Amino acid sequence: MSNPILTIKQLGCRYGSRTVFEQLDLQATKGEVLALLGPNGAGKSTLLRCLARLQRPQQGQIWLDGQPLWHIKPRLVAQQIAFAPQQAGLNPELTVEQMLLLGRTPHRGWLLPMTKADRAIVEELLERFNLAKYRRQSLAELSGGEQRRVIIARALAQQPKMLLLDEPTAHLDLKYQLEIMQLVSDLAHNDGVCVILTLHDLNQASLCADRIALLAHGRLQAVGAPSAVLRSELIEAAYEVPIQMIEHPNHNLPLVMLQPQRKEVAWPN
Amino acid sequence: MARLISKPYWRDLLAFGGLLGLLLLTMVLSLGIGAVQFSPSEVLQAIIQPQHSSTNSTAVTIVWDLRLARMLLAALIGAGLASAGAAFQGLFQNPLADPFAIGASGGAALGATLAIVLQIQWQWLGFSAVALCAFIGALLAVGVVYTIAEVGGQAPRTALLLAGAALSTMLSATVSLLLLMNEQPLYEVFAWLLGGLSGRSWDNLRSSLPFVVLGIAWLWLLARRIDALSCGDEVAQSLGLSLWRTRSAVIAAASITTAATVANGGIIGFVGLIAPHIARLLFGANHARLIPASGLVGAMLLVLADTTARTIAAPLELPVGILTAMLGGPFFLYLLKRSRGIRD
């Protein structure tokens, strides 16, 4: 792997006496989409919070560009890593524009007024995310999908090298899910951002991630291309359910099929 | 395109100007109203040219010696409470928070009661003994609440609000106990607790002024940080903000402001709760605008309330706190109904 921007070594996290995960080794590079998968409670969000410097791991080290993450000043971290939380993460009374400008604070500081350059960056994001027409509306007036776009746009206003997204597609309809997946891919492959995201939907991960890291039972079970990680024995062991793998009709990518027990009921016409 | 963004500044500037004009108008009208009535022009002349031969000398005496200091104190207290309220509502992400949310009123009440009951005579920086004890009491109470709520370098919002509520109840029980055991000062303490500006003079204004002005200025400097905090801890932290340091700073600035208002005005409720909401309707939730705008609205509300309090039942004067509570209560209930609980 060429020049990892992120290196994680022997990372371990606990809540009280419960070990979330331990001995976790992982790397990530510029321009890739890395999806974190795993059952509920496997520590996907915890790992993401550690990377965002929101939570201090009990064991191990995280390096950002060769520097230990916890030795870098918070503001310098915020210039390089942006985090979009899964829910909340906004003040519904701020306007779209104010929210995005807040994303410039790691570069501008807490006292100085925003410059023309800051406004230009925000302007570009407003256009790119189709939010320009809502700029002066309060966030409360936006739909769930639009609010999610604002949260991600705010993170991008930080102009990060690494973007952390906690379940960016949760509670969104198909159109917005696709939009977010497309956006993530653009950011990584065109802008060279390292995007790390947690997902619940294995098929989404297959469709949008370059690599997948599978967390389960307190360990990193596998990491690699979708075809290497989304294999029935790995997924069945991680999620403890029987599944079947099929191939996407248009892309050479694996898809995971659940096998619920269904009783066929004949409804009278 | 980028130029478009700066346009609303004109709108805001206009709104600020309008608000300031309205406040000045309220102030001038307030000075003219009372047992002896003066026209706005008489009031203005008495203020601007007190020595001039054509100036009504009764107006000069009444405006300068009786009404001006009290009116300015009302404006100062209103501005202080409203700015502190705006900051706390942002900090706690709670539209129902007010400057007394974390114990300042309870501490001030106990401080003032002790000063009255024990007939303490200290003076400092122009504060009377009661004012000084209320000031110290308010700061101590907030300090205690903060210390209790703080765990491992963090003071969670809910813990702060709960500790504040619990301590306030304890302190007010202590005040009641003290009053039961000492009946003579009952009226004096009662009048103080209800909040009132009756008989306040230039000395009161002078002692509160520096703390309130510095407090509001400090809050204004913290405005962008409060914006970040109002989006939740994770966002604030991921923008590079130190939660502990920022929260402590906001709490310190807001509490110094609140304590300095309470010291000379007693516990005046609802202004610090309502004014920020009115300001938010006019200027939005951006704290760099919201904090000064709340200050202007709060100043206007309290000048209006105090003018009403001293004239509505003349020659009796009502404590202004009763008036703000009676008018503010319904508004608070409306907010509660509308917000459907606390956002978190």
Q: Locate the chain B residue with the closest alpha carbon to A82.
A: B238
For residue B178, how many other CB atoms are within 10 A of its CB?
17
Least Cα distance to B238 among A184, A159, A74 occurs for A74
Q: How far is A82 from chain B (nearest CA, A)?
A: 7
Find the DSSP H helices in chain B: 2-5, 8-32, 40-48, 57-61, 68-91, 104-117, 129-149, 157-181, 186-194, 202-221, 223-229, 233-238, 243-265, 271-283, 287-311, 320-339
Residues 6+ apart with CB under 8 A from B118: none
Of B1, B240, B286, the CB nearest to A98: B286
Q: What is the pLDDT of residue B122?
A: 78
The predicted pLDDT at position B83 comes to: 97
Chain B residues near residue A16 by CB distance under 8 angstroms: none
Q: Give the least confident one: A148-157, A169-178, B233-242.
A: A169-178
Q: Which residue has the tokens 């980028």?
A: B2
Identify the CA nearest to B67 among candidates B117, B111, B20, B29.
Answer: B29
Report the C-alpha dihedral over residues B8, B14, B15, B19, rounded to 10 degrees.
Answer: 160
CB contact under 8 A, B234 and A83: yes
List the structure tokens of A88: 């909340």
Structure confidence at residue A159 (pLDDT): 94
* Nearest C-alpha neighbor of A228 from the set A20, A35, A93: A35
Percent of chain A past pLDDT 90, that is, above it, reads 68
Whether B281 has its CB under 8 Å from any CB of chain A: the answer is no
Locate B154 and state its tokens.
């963090």
**Average pLDDT rounded to a whole number, residues B34-45:** 89
Q: Which residue has the higher pLDDT, A128 or B338?
A: A128
Residue B152's pLDDT is 62
Q: Which residues of B touch A116 (CB under 8 A)?
A: 2
Rounded to a whole number of angstroms, the CA Rg of chain A reads 20
What's residue A41's pLDDT?
87
Q: Is the dihedral of CA A78, A79, A82, A88 positive or negative?
A: positive
Contact between A138 and B242 using a beta-carbon 8 Å cutoff:
no
Interface test with chain A among B157, B235, B242, B243, by most A beta carbons within 10 Å: B235
Residues of chain B with C-beta less than 8 angstroms from the C-beta of A95: 284, 286
- Dist. CA B269–CA B254, nearest whole Å: 15
Residue from B241, B288, B226, B260 nearest B99 by CA: B260
Local structure of B113: helix, strand or coil: helix
Q: In a 3-state reduction of DSSP, which class is residue A95?
A: strand
Is residue B315 reached through a cis peptide bond, with omega within 30 degrees of 0 on the bond before it?
Answer: yes
The A194-198 sheet, strands edge to edge:
A81-84, A162-166, A194-198, A33-37, A211-216, A219-224
Q: Do A94 and B343 touch (CB under 8 A)?
A: no
Q: What is the largest CA-CA distance in chain A?
A: 71
Give A157's pLDDT tier (boundaries 50, 70, 90): very high
Distance of CA B45 to the CA centre of its chain: 30
How would you classify the pairing of strands A211-216 and A219-224?
Answer: antiparallel
Q: Given phi > 0 = left and psi -120 to 50 = alpha, else beta, which region is B152? A: left
Whether B2 has its CB under 8 Å from any CB of chain A: the answer is yes
- Whether B231 sits inside 8 A of A93 (CB atoms) is no
* CB within 8 Å: B238 and A53: yes
Q: For residue B155, what pLDDT is reported?
A: 67
Predicted local distance difference test score (pLDDT) of residue B340: 52
Contacts of B7 by beta carbon, 8 Å cutoff, 6+ apart: none
CA atoms of A105 and A253, how far apart (whole Å): 40
Kindly determine whether residue A136 and residue B8, on different chains, have CB atoms separated by under 8 Å. Answer: yes
Instruction: Give the confidence band of B265 by pLDDT, cuts at 50, 70, 90.
Output: confident
Contact A89/B2, CB-based, under 8 Å?
Answer: no
Closest chain B C-alpha to A2 CA, distance in angstroms: 27
For A252, the token pair is 């050479």
* pLDDT at B222 exceeding the cut of 90: yes
Where is A165: in which H helix or E strand? strand A162-166
pLDDT at B51: 83
pLDDT value at residue B115: 87
Partners of A94 on chain B (C-beta within 8 Å) are: 227, 230-231, 284-286
Query: Nearest to residue B154, comparing CAs of B162, B146, B164?
Result: B146
Instruction: Give the per-residue pLDDT at A2.
Output: 65
**According to the model, what pLDDT value does residue A145 have?**
83
pLDDT band at residue B330 using 50, 70 and 90 as cut-offs = confident
Query: Which of A76, A78, A136 shows the shortest C-beta gap to B238?
Result: A78
pLDDT of residue B5 exceeding 50: no
CB contact under 8 A, A90 and B231: yes
Contact B221/A at CB under 8 A = yes
**Given CB atoms, is B67 within the 8 Å cutoff of chain A?**
no
For residue range B304-325, list pLDDT tens digits in order.
Answer: 999 999 998 878 888 898 889 8
Span B46-339: which CATH code? 1.10.3470.10
- B280 touching chain A per CB within 8 A: yes
Which one of B2, B239, B343 has the shortest CB-CB distance to A105? B239
Q: Which pLDDT score, from 0 to 100, does residue A195 have?
A: 96
Q: Give B 94-153 residues with CB within 8 A of chain A.
A: none
Question: For residue range A204-235, what is the model confidence (pLDDT) as tens digits?
Answer: 999 999 999 999 999 999 999 999 999 999 99
Most B CBs within 10 A among A93, A164, A198, hence the mutation to make, goes to A93
pLDDT greater than 80 at residue B73: yes
Tell me which chain B residues have a C-beta less than 8 angstroms from the C-beta of A110: 222, 224-225, 241
Which of A102, A108, A114 would best serve as a mutation to test chain B binding (most B beta carbons within 10 A)? A102
Of the candidates B196, B215, B250, the one whose C-alpha atom is nearest the C-alpha of residue B80 is: B215
**By the 8 A CB rule, do B109 and B137 touch?**
yes
CA quadruple B262, B281, A98, A129: dihedral, nearest 10 = 150
Cα A9 to Cα B12: distance, rounded to the nearest angstrom: 52
Average of per-residue pLDDT values in chain B? 87
- What contacts B197, CB < 8 A, 6 or more positions away? B70, B73, B74, B77, B265, B306, B309, B320
A262: distance to nearest CA of chain B, Å?
40
Q: Which domains does chain A have, with CATH numbers?
A: 6-258 (3.40.50.300)
Per-residue confidence (pLDDT) for residue A215, from 0 to 100: 94
CA distance A78 to A67: 14
Q: Which candidate in A69, A91, A114 is best for mutational testing of the B interface (most B CBs within 10 A)?
A: A91
Supply the DSSP string of B51-103, one letter for each residue.
T-TTS-HHHHHIIIIIIHHHHHHHHHHHHHHHHHHHHHHHHTT-TT--TTTTS
Closest CA–CA distance from residue A173 to any residue of chain B (Å)? 24
Letter for the amino acid at B255?
S
Tell me the chain A residues in contact with residue B221 when contact means C-beta distances shorter than 8 Å: 111
